[in-house]
Amino acid sequence: METSIYGTDGRANMYIADDGETLYTWEGYAVCYLVDEKIYGWRGKHLGWLLNGIFYDIEGYRVGYTKDTYPRIRYTERTKWTKKTMRTKSMRQTARTRPTLKTSESNEDLEKYFSQDH
Backbone angles phi, psi at 87, to 5 degrees: -80, 170
* Residues 4-20: tens digit of each pLDDT: 999 999 999 999 999 99
Instruction: Say if CB 96 and CB 46 are below 8 A apart.
Output: yes
Domain count of the fold of the chain: 1
- Which structural domain range is residue 37 located in? 3-114
Note the pTM of the prediction, 2 decimals. 0.93
C-alpha triplet 38, 86, 17: angle, nearest 5°: 55
* Residues 62-110: tens digit of each pLDDT: 999 999 999 999 999 999 999 998 888 999 999 999 999 999 999 999 9
Give percent helix, percent strand, percent coil of the chain, each to the nearest 5. Answer: 5, 35, 60
